[in-house]
Amino acid sequence: MAALAAVFALAILTHCSAVMGRAAPAIPPSTTAKGPVTYVFGDSMSDVGNNNYFPMSLAKSNYPWYGIDYPNRKATGRFTNGKTIGDYMADKFGVPPPPPFLSLSLAGKDVLGGVNFASGGAGILNETGVYFVQYFSFDEQITCFETVKKAMIAKIGEEAAEATVNAALFQIGLGSNDYINNFLQPFMADGTTYTHDQFIRLLITTLDRQLKRLYGLGARKVVFNGLAPLGCIPSQRVRSTDGKCLSRVNDYALQFNAAAKNLLDGLNARLPGAQMALADTYSVVMELIDHPEKHGFTTAHTSCCNVDTEVGGLCLPNTRPCSDRSAFVFWDAYHTSDAANKVIAERLWAGMSAGHGGAPPVAPPRVGASVPAAAPSPAPSQDDY
Q: Which residues are known to be catalytic?
A: 44, 332, 335
For the chain, give the longest Cα–Cα distance: 60
- Enclosing H/E stretch for 328: strand 328-330
Residue 257 · residue 278 · CB < 8 Å: yes
Residue 175 · residue 200 · CB < 8 Å: no
Residue 264 · residue 250 · CB < 8 Å: no
- Enclosing H/E stretch for 138: helix 138-156
Q: How far apart are CA 5 and CA 134, in angstroms?
A: 8
DSSP 141-171: HHHHHHHHHHHHHHHH-HHHHHHHHHHSEEE
Give which of 88, 70, 352 is closest to 221, Cα–Cα. 352
Residue 339 CA: distances (Å) to CA of 25, 89, 139, 226, 327: 28, 13, 31, 20, 8
